[in-house]
Amino acid sequence: MTAHALDALLDSMTLEEQVALLTGADFWSTVPIPRLGVPAVKVSDGPNGARGGIFKDGPSTACFPAGIALAATWNPALIQQTGAALGEETKIKGARVLLAPTVNLQRTTLNGRNFECHSEDPWLSSEMAVAYVRGVQGTGVAATIKHFVGNESEYQRMSMSSDIPERALRELYLLPFERAVKEAGVWAVMTAYNRIDGTFAADHRRLVNDVLREEWGFDGLVMTDWFASHDTVQGVLAGTDLEMPGTTRERGQKLVDAVNDGRLPAQAVRDCARRVLLLMQRVGSFADPVIPAERADDVPAHRQLIRTLGAEGAVLLKNNQNTLPLAADTSRRVAVIGLPAVVPQIMGGGSATVNAHYRVAPLDALRSQWPNATFTHHAGASIHRWVPVLRTPMQLEFFNSADLSGPVVCTQTVDNTEQIWAGHVPEGVQPGTFSVRATLRFVATQAGAHQFSLISAGLSRASINGTPVIDAWSTWSRGETYFTFGCEEVIHTRQLQAGEVCNITLEYSSAAFEEVNFRALRFGAGRVLDASDIAAAVEAARTADVAVVFAGLNAEWDNEGLDRVSMTLPHHQNTLIAQVAAANPRTVVVLQTGSPVTTPWLDNVPAVLQAWYPGQECGNAIADVLLGAAEPGGRLPQTWPLRLEDTVAFGDPAQYPGVDGHVRYGEDVFIGYRHYQQKQLAVQFPFGHGLSYTSFDYGPVRGVPASFGPGDTITLEVDVRNTGKRAGQTVVQLYVSDAEASVARPARELKAFAKLHLEAGASGTAKLTLPMRAFAFYDVEKKRWTAEAGSFGLHLGTTADDAFANHSVVLTGDWHG
Ligand code: BGC
C-alpha cells in the first residue's frame, strides 16, 4: 500500500474507527475494521521464544537461551541467525510482531529481569539488539525493542520514577534503542512501566516524540507495556500509538471525548492510527489478513541452533589443571549433585516464559554422551524461592460465580498445579468473574517435614484431608508475585510419614480485584530438603572419581515483577558445594543463574562453568561443553562482583530500590565495570571474562595512527593465533579511555569487539572499527555528542580489566555530532 493509499484509508475512517485502532482488541491482537478491510495483527512475547496467545501450557514452542546467555555469545552473526529463527517461530504462532528484544541495562545485580537483559554495557547490548532485530525483521516479522526506557529494576515497577541524569540516559540507557532504530530500522518500540523523571514512559513526549521520533527518525509504532497507560491525552500527544492490551483503560470513548472536547487535536489520533496501519502493512497483514491457528511445529534446525547457542554462551569461569573437559572415553564414577541436573533450568520467569517443546536434563545428556561412566544423583539442596509446583494431575471444576455457587460450568484435568488465566479462560467460563474447585492427591515418598503453599492472583484457600490449612482468601492482599497481581506465598508445614496420603482441595475466586484480567492459582508441595540430603550427596562425592554439582537460581528468582533479595545462592547450596569439594577435590560446579551470585567456595573448586538458562537443549549444551564436544564460547556480559556491598547504589535506598516513588541513578555513567574501575574495587570475575579450552597469542596491533582528525574512523587489526591443541574461540575486546576530559569519564569503555573461531595452530585477524562516537561523551548543555581534542587510550584485551596491548592516539581537534 502506498503512502497515498494509507492516507486515503485514514480519510475514509470515522474518528471512532481511528480510535479503535489505538487499543488492543484483547491481550495479544489489534482491532480489525472489516468494513474497510483493516486486518487484526497478533503479537507474541518474546524474547527467548514465541509463546503465542496462551500464557501457560499453550501449544508448545522452541525455547531459546535467555537474553544474558545470548549476549554471552558475543557473536552478532549468530544472534542475527537466532533473530531469524525467532521470526519463523513467531509465524508458527500466527503472530507478526515479536515483543523483543529486552535491552534495559544491568544496572543493579538484583534486578529481577537481569537474566532477560543483554548486558551491563551499552555497546555489547546494542550490538546484540541490532543483530537480533535484523534477524527477526528479515523474516517480515516486526521486532519490538523494549522497555523504553529506564526499566532497570522491578521494585514498584508500575509506578517508580527512574531519575536518570541526561548523560547516563544518552550514553548508556538509550544507546541500544538508538542503534536499533538507526542501524536495524526496528519497526516497533514498547514503552516501559516506570516513569522517567516523574513522567510515565508512555506519556513521555520528550523521549517518545522528540528523541525517538524526531531526533532519531523512528517512523514505526510505539506501544505501551501491558496495562501501562495512564493518561488519555498525554499518551497520544507523546506519540504512543497503541495501548496494550485491550480492552481499553484510557482510550476508546474517553479518547473520542477528548477530541470532541477540544483537549486533543484529531490530527494526533490520526498520526497514531497511521502508524498502526503502517505496521500492519510492513508485516504483510493487508496482503494476508488471516491470523492462522497456532501450531506446535518443532523445527529441527532450531533445535540445533539452540544447542549451538547454549555452548557458545556458556562461560568457563575457572578451570585449574585443565579439569575440564572431562574425558568422555574413560570409565569413571561420576557423582552428579543438585536439583538442576534433573529438573532442567531452561529459562527465567515472567513474560519471557514459554511452553518449551521439551527440556533436556543435564543428567540424561551426560548419561547418553558418556556411556562408559556410572552415575549417581543426589539433590542435596533446594534451589526454589517458592514451594515447588507439582507435576501431578489436578481436577478442576469451574463456576460462573465468585463463591463457588451455582452449577459447574466446565471441568478440566490438568497435569500440574499452576494455572494461569490471562485473557483466556476455558470454554463456558465467564472471563470476568469465576471460581474454581481443584482436587489432587499428594503422597509422601519419604518421611520428614513437608511444605504446602498457595500463591494466587485472586483469592485462594486449601484444605488437606478435609481440614482447612492455607488461607490466602480472607487475608489476601496484592504482593510481588505474578507481575505484582498475585499475593505473597502462604505456607503450611507438617510432618509426614513415607506413604502418607494427602487429599487436597483448593478453592479459588477471581474476586480479589477486577482491575486487570490476569488471574492465577499456584499450589506447591514438597519435602523440605535438610542436612541428611547434603550428607548423602557428600558421601556419593567421596566415593566418586569426579563430582559435578549443578547449582544456581531458577525462574522464581530470575523473574519479572520482583527483584532478588541477595546475591547468595539460596538455601544450603553454598554449604553443599563446600562440603562436596572437601570430600572430592575433583569437583566441577555448573552454575545456572541469570545474574551474578557470590561464590565463597571458589578457591576450593578447580572448575566452574556458568551455563545460564540455555533453553530447551539445556542438558545437551552443558554436556557438550563439560565433555569437550564443544568449546565454552561465552564471555561475561556482566561483571561478577565479590560481594553485594560493592555493587552500584548499594546502601543508598534512594539509589536502589528507590524512596518515595523515585529511584535516583546517582552513579551517573558509572555502572558495571565502569563503576568497579572508578571505585577501584576488585571483582570476582571481570566483564568480558571467559576461559577457553585452548590458548591464544595476540600479535601486534596494526592501524594505530599517531593522530586522527575530527570525523575520521580508526580501524585496527590484530592477528591472533591458536597456540593450543584444539579448536577454540576468543573475543578480542577494544576499550577506549579519554586521557583528559572536561567531564568525568569512565576509565575504559567497550567500543568494539571481534570473536574469532580458530582451529588448532591456525591464525586469524580481528578487525575493530572505531567511528567518532566511540570517543565522544554527551554534552548536556549543548545537547550534542562531543569528542574533545587530545589524547585517547586504546586498550585491547580479553576482559575489561586486562590488556595485551595499550596504545594512545591524539585527536587533533574537537568533534561534534
Ligand atoms: C512485560 C513485557 C511483556 C508484556 C506482555 C509485561 O509484563 O513487561 O515485557 O511483553 O508483559 O506479556
Residue with CA closest to ligand 1 atom 3? 351
- Mutational pocket test of ligand 1: of 226, 480, 485, the residue with most ligand atoms within 8 Å of the beta carbon: 226
Q: Which residue has the cell 554495557?
A: 121
599 within 8 A of 551, measured Cβ to Cβ: no
Strands of the sheet containing 501-509, edge to edge, are 408-414, 394-399, 435-443, 501-509, 459-464, 467-472
**Secondary structure (H, E, C), 558-572:** CCCCCCCCCCCCCCC
How far does residue 244's CA lie from ligand 1's centre (Å)? 10
How far does residue 511's CA lie from ligand 1's centre (Å)? 23
* Ligand 1 atom at shortest distance from the alpha carbon of 146: 9
- Mutational pocket test of ligand 1: of 144, 224, 225, 518, the residue with most ligand atoms within 8 Å of the beta carbon: 225
- Show me where the domains of the chain are located: 3-282, 300-313+331-386+531-664, 394-527, 692-816
Distance CA(257)–CA(669), nearest Å, equals: 43
Length of the chain: 817
**Using CB atoms within 10 A of its CB, is residue 328 exposed (0-12), middle (13-18) or buried (19+)?**
middle
User: What are the DSSP E strand ranges found in 611-651?
Assistant: 640-641
* Ligand 1 atom at shortest distance from the alpha carbon of 157: 8
DSSP state of 297: -
What superfamily in CATH does domain 3-282 come from?
Glycoside hydrolase, family 3, N-terminal domain (3.20.20.300)
Cell of 798: 580479553
Catalytic center residues: 225
How far does residue 254's CA lie from ligand 1's centre (Å)? 24
* Ligand 1 atom at shortest distance from the alpha carbon of 55: 12
* Ligand 1 atom at shortest distance from the alpha carbon of 100: 10
How far does residue 139's CA lie from ligand 1's centre (Å)? 23
The low-confidence residues of the chain, meaning pLDDT below 70, are 513-515
Q: Cα 160 to the chain's mean position, in Å?
A: 20
How far does residue 61's CA lie from ligand 1's centre (Å)? 18
Alpha helices in 349-439 (DSSP H): 362-369
* Ligand 1 atom at shortest distance from the alpha carbon of 147: 9
Distance (Å) of CA 190 to CA 38, 145, 307, 398: 22, 6, 30, 35
Fold designation for 394-527: Jelly Rolls (2.60.120)
| CATH class of the region 692-816 | mainly beta
How far does residue 141's CA lie from ligand 1's centre (Å)? 18
pLDDT of residue 515: 67
- Mutational pocket test of ligand 1: of 45, 54, 154, 243, the residue with most ligand atoms within 8 Å of the beta carbon: 45
**Secondary structure (H, E, C), 691-724:** ECCCCEEEEEEECCCCEECCCCCEEEEEEEEECC
638 within 8 A of 595, measured Cβ to Cβ: yes
Nearest Cα to Cα of residue 134 among 67, 190, 86, 70: 86
How far does residue 32's CA lie from ligand 1's centre (Å)? 22
Distance CA(436)–CA(745), nearest Å, equals: 58
Residue ranges around ligand 1 (CB below 6 Å)? 45-46, 99, 146, 225-226, 351, 483
DSSP state of 224: P
Residue with CA closest to ligand 1 atom 12? 351
How far does residue 588's CA lie from ligand 1's centre (Å)? 37
Residue with CA closest to ligand 1 atom 6? 226
- CA triplet 319, 322, 324: central angle to 5 degrees? 70
Residue with CA closest to ligand 1 atom 4? 226
pLDDT of residue 514: 65
SS3 478: coil
* Ligand 1 atom at shortest distance from the alpha carbon of 561: 7
How far does residue 99's CA lie from ligand 1's centre (Å)? 8
Residue with CA closest to ligand 1 atom 9? 351
- Mutational pocket test of ligand 1: of 351, 420, 424, 482, the residue with most ligand atoms within 8 Å of the beta carbon: 351
* Ligand 1 atom at shortest distance from the alpha carbon of 45: 10
| CATH class of the region 300-313+331-386+531-664 | alpha beta
SS3 129: helix
Amino acid at site 717: E
What contacts 572, CB < 8 A, 6 or more positions away? 380, 381, 382, 529, 531, 534
Per DSSP, what are the bridge partners of residue 42? 29
